[in-house]
Amino acid sequence: MKAPVKKIGLGILKWGGIAIASILLLMFLIPLVFPGTIAQQVKVFANKSLDGELNFTNSKLSFFTHFPSLTVSLDKLSLKGSAPFKDEILLSAEEVAFGINLKRLIFDNEIKIDEIYVSDALINVIVDENGQANYNVYISEDNQPKDTLATGPAIRLDRVDLKNCHIKYNDKSAKTFVEAKGFNYVGRGNLSEDVFDLRTDAQIDAVDFYYDKVPYLEKKEIHADLITRINTNALSFILKKNELRINRLPVEFTGVFTMLKEGYNIDLKAASTNTKFKDIFSALPPQYLTWMDNTKIEGKSDLLFTFKGRYNAATNQQPDLGFHFTVKDGFINYKEAPVSMSNLQMDLNAMMPGLDIEKLNVDLKKFDFRLGNKDFFNAFVKIKGFSEMAVKAQIKGSLDLKELDNTLGLQNLDLKGILKTDIVADGVYNADKKLFPKTKGGVNLQNGWFKTSHYPNPITDIMFVANVQNDKGTFDDIKIVVSPASFVFEGNPVYVNATVSNFEDVDYDAKIKGELNIGRIYKVFAQKGLEVTGYAKADLSLKGRQSYATSGQYSKLNNKGTLLIKDIKTTSEFFPKPFYIHEGDFTFHNEKLKFEKFDAAYGKSDFAINGYLLNTINYFFEPKATLKGSFNVKSKLINVDEFMALKEGENKDMKPAVEEAKETHPKMSGVVVLPTNLNVSLTANADKVEYNGLVLNNLGGKVSVEKGKLHLQNGNFNIIDCRVGLDASYDDESPMAANFTAHFTAKDFNVKRAYKEIPLFRELVTSAGKAEGIISVDYKLKGDLDGNMGPIYPSLSGGGTVNVRDVKVSGLKLFGGVGDKMGSDGLKNPDMKDIDIKTTIDRNLIHIEEFVFKVAGFRPKIKGTTSFDGLLDIRIRLGLPPLGIIGVPIVVTGSQENPKIKIFSKTGDKIDEAEYNEKTNQVIKKETRMEEPEKKE
């Protein structure tokens, strides 16, 4: 019996070996047999099915890249998005591989893609304000033209595998930004079915989630194990199995998500029920994780997040957002501190229907805790609405801040002092209606002490007693008393006593005295990436009413004192760079804040200022108030380019509109944005002004800034050794657009230098490149500026006179062509003297009024139209010697580089004039026939 068994065993090994060898042989041969076919099919698929630019460096077919699947791999692949993001990368990856169905390939010679593998990729999803997305690159079969001859692969996915991907989702229409790094994902299911279950296993190393630029998750590790039922007909997703873990916090998801033609419907709930209170902290930013290891945390918590409703950008529909959080029997003790925070109870509900901040509803029903045996804190706050906010709140507590610091283990912060608070508020806040909740209570801090790890010395001896009272619920009944407020820093005491009442017509009485090294005190509160230095010394006594200043009753004011600052760095939301105040010496006298001495710098620019401001008190209390003033300004250099709103700079606190424009137009510098709450006149003298490549010397004039508009009167400056007079106005419409008016005069300047050194002159007088000599200009112009502070030529309109005193034209093809046609060399390079050329500009066209000059015995009479694009429609009557009584009609069309000259012709050509929309800054070309042919003389 042994022999047959042995024989059978050898047979099995033999045939098994042959089978394995055959399989291995096929695994090597199939990629050699089919590579051309598959590569060709991939190209067909890309051209037929993708509305986006696809590039890759190399393709290969192998069983071993993603064993045992047969895959076609594309190395270093990049795919650009769909309109309007065709220049933006949607996907870039080291490798994208498509799994091929082997059975279909061998027996049917059909390419069926049933797996996709993506590794080391950037997936960059963008949705603009109108809901247009860059991911609509796949052309569905329903939208493709019927082509019975075309062949290509079909996609019926059973597996999606993403490895080490970086995903960015920026949806401006929903104000949502999500970024995931180290994204690993495996999705399995019969994706070829209309309805199927997708099994998902995802691991993400770090996730950031922002809504309206506010971070809600930062660098969170997430693991997801989900089963999602997907209906491809309705494009709906139903969460069945829903286990998610954010760091150590378990979360269960339930809900339905359905894609619609415009937007989506969603009903999503994320809950963490009866969870350990400690696990909530694991979802906080990473810097808290070390703190958790040294802290005893007890208690139970519930967390519920809801997102329900329809999203449609076109109709401005938004889902409802809800949040609920509770803590029961909370306990916190850091490093076995002698006193613990105990009996922590919290119940918070928040709703934002339709993601509308005006419908915000926050209900903090309870926030209570005890600190040791005697200290306590109790609060409830209820808020409804935003612009008109209904408020009901009660806050009461007595805390030893040193014990609180020790118990919580506050990082990088040391506190001391006894803090007591007792505030009750009930009513409505509405600034426009002058409503303020009925309020009574105060805050009392004694023997305060404050120190951070950023600076070795503390702020000590902090005393702060403030009381607020409002019995009527209106602005005119508010009374706030701060008496006293004081502290000591670096041995320098600062004292403040203030009473402020009647916010409808603010009645103030304040005394401020002390000096501070601002650079050092800033280091106490230092933030990464910012640096502030400087010194301030104040001795101020301010007393009066807001209306005294606004109504001109200055004698009733009693504002006096001095303020000295040195080496201050400050930023403004309007400008990309900080201002540096080297020294500022200010004096208060009733309504005036005098600038006795003020030296400042901005980028390369410098300013020496003296003068005064009015309405400073009203400006401080009223956000819409306007500062008024008059100044003398001297400067060695003003670099206008550095003031442009989108220029790269240090300021991280720009206006939201500026930040939005910077994201949308990354390659533009922006225009100069002016504050709207200034009414200031300046007598300016600048040795040098730099703007868009121009250098203006010895600039002087009267400048006024009012309601966001700038006016220059009697301005004058030197450029190319010529004195230029200028009256102008400027108004920014947005961070990307502005308009201007200008009237400039210049006498006896060199044409050749102007063409080389002044870009605007080069564009307005293109033929000046072939001229040499002296001219004068008197011209008025108005128009719009683009996002680089350059003129939008179709928007320009105006007119004026160019006086040609003595100019020689050499090599201009227009005159050269006329000279050739007439057989006269004298016409080719004419000398032009004492000629006034009047022109008007409108819709991208320059209209030339008729002018006459003498050259080589001829009397040319010229008029017509040119465009900023270089097109010509010029009419010439060439008066023949000796007196020009007999004339030859000539028409010049074409372009300046290629003029078309017709002798004995009076029929011109068409030039496109531009239709310009001032509201949208859009240019629309339309055809129009220029001047009618000349009548016979």
Q: DSSP string covering 163-198, please?
A: EEEEEEEEETTTTEEEEEEEEEEEEES-TTSSEEEE
- Residue range 749-764: mean pLDDT, rounded: 76
Torsion of CA 278, 282, 284, 290, to 10 degrees: 100
Q: Is 20 helix (H, G, I), strand (E, B) or coil?
A: helix
> What's the CA gap between 935 and 217, in Å, rounded?
78
Instruction: Decide which of 333 and 720 is more confident.
Output: 333
**Of 579, 631, 629, which is closest to residue 600 (Cα–Cα)?**
579
Whole-Å CA distances, 189 to 63, 146, 160, 194, 389: 21, 30, 9, 12, 50
User: Is the predicted pLDDT of residue 465 greater than 90, yes or no?
Assistant: yes
User: Is the predicted pLDDT of residue 247 greater than 60, yes or no?
Assistant: yes
- Residue range 366-378: mean pLDDT, rounded: 94
List CB contacts of 19: < 8 A, sequence separation 6 or more.
none
Q: What's at 314, amino acid-wise?
A: A
Which range, 154-163, 402-411, 439-448, has the best average confidence (pLDDT)? 439-448
Please, are residues 698 and 714 in contact by the beta-carbon 8 Å criterion?
no
- Residue range 581-585: mean pLDDT, rounded: 86
* Least confident piece of the model among 47-56, 709-718, 774-783: 47-56
User: Is the predicted pLDDT of residue 632 greater than 50, yes or no?
Assistant: yes
User: Is the predicted pLDDT of residue 656 greater than 70, yes or no?
Assistant: no
Radius of gyration of the chain (CA): 38
pLDDT of amino acid 7:
62
> What's the CA gap between 671 and 456, in Å, rounded?
43
Which range, 357-366, 552-561, 743-752, 759-768, has the best average confidence (pLDDT)? 357-366
Which range, 99-113, 215-229, 527-541, 673-687, has the best average confidence (pLDDT)? 673-687
Q: Which residue has the tokens 């990309």?
A: 576
Residue 895: pLDDT band (50, 70, 90) is confident
pLDDT of amino acid 933:
41
pLDDT tens, position by position, 836-864: 989 999 988 989 999 888 887 788 888 98
pLDDT of amino acid 646:
47
Instruction: Decide which of 529 and 520 is more confident.
Output: 520
Burial letters for 439-475: b for 16+ Cβ neighbours within 10 Å, e otherwise? bebbbebeebbbbbeebeebbbebbbebbbebeebbb
> What's the CA gap between 98 and 158, in Å, rounded?
11
What percent of the chain clears pLDDT 70, i.e. is strictly above it? 79
Instruction: Give the DSSP letter of residue 435.
Output: B
pLDDT of amino acid 531:
53
Burial letters for 538-572: b for 16+ Cβ neighbours within 10 Å, e otherwise? bebebebbbbbbeeeeeeebebebebbbbbbbebb
CB atoms within 10 A of CB 116: 19
Domain coordinates in residue numbering, the chain: 26-134+156-246, 261-389, 558-709, 736-929
Q: Which two tokens stand for residue 860?
A: 């040319």
pLDDT of amino acid 932:
41
CB atoms within 10 A of CB 334: 20
No. of helices (H) and no. of strands (E), the chain: 13, 46
User: Is the predicted pLDDT of residue 530 greater than 50, yes or no?
Assistant: no
List CB contacts of 623: < 8 A, sequence separation 6 or more.
none
User: Is the predicted pLDDT of residue 127 greater than 80, yes or no?
Assistant: yes
pLDDT of amino acid 9:
61
User: Is the predicted pLDDT of residue 316 greater than 70, yes or no?
Assistant: yes
> What's the CA gap between 769 and 781, in Å, rounded?
22
- Residue range 449-470: mean pLDDT, rounded: 87
The mean predicted confidence, pLDDT, of the chain is: 79
> What's the CA gap between 409 and 789, in Å, rounded?
53
CB atoms within 10 A of CB 667: 7
pLDDT of amino acid 931:
41
pLDDT of amino acid 620:
72
pLDDT of amino acid 712:
87
List CB contacts of 544: < 8 A, sequence separation 6 or more.
507, 508, 556, 557, 558, 559, 590, 617
> What's the CA gap between 913 and 797, in Å, rounded?
13
Residue 501: pLDDT band (50, 70, 90) is very high
pLDDT of amino acid 525:
56
**Of 64, 68, 45, 60, which is closest to residue 95 (Cα–Cα)?**
60
Please, are residues 299 and 331 in contact by the beta-carbon 8 Å criterion?
yes
Which range, 158-167, 276-285, 303-312, 919-928, has the best average confidence (pLDDT)? 303-312
pLDDT of amino acid 763:
66
Q: pTM to 2 decimals?
A: 0.62
pLDDT of amino acid 26:
47
Please, are residues 744 and 706 in contact by the beta-carbon 8 Å criterion?
no
Please, are residues 340 and 332 in contact by the beta-carbon 8 Å criterion?
yes
Instruction: Decide which of 773 and 935 is more confident.
Output: 773
* Least confident piece of the model among 210-224, 547-561, 676-690: 210-224
Instruction: Decide which of 42 and 486 is more confident.
Output: 486
The interaxial angle of helices 35-49 and 2-33, nearest 10 deg, is 50
- Residue range 359-384: mean pLDDT, rounded: 95
Residue 150: pLDDT band (50, 70, 90) is very low
Residue 28: pLDDT band (50, 70, 90) is very low
Q: What are phi and psi of 757, to 5 degrees?
A: -110, -10
User: Is the predicted pLDDT of residue 25 greater than 50, yes or no?
Assistant: no
pLDDT tens, position by position, 819-828: 777 777 777 7
User: Is the predicted pLDDT of residue 233 greater than 70, yes or no?
Assistant: no
H helix or E strand, kind and range, residue 757: helix 751-757
Residue 405: pLDDT band (50, 70, 90) is very high
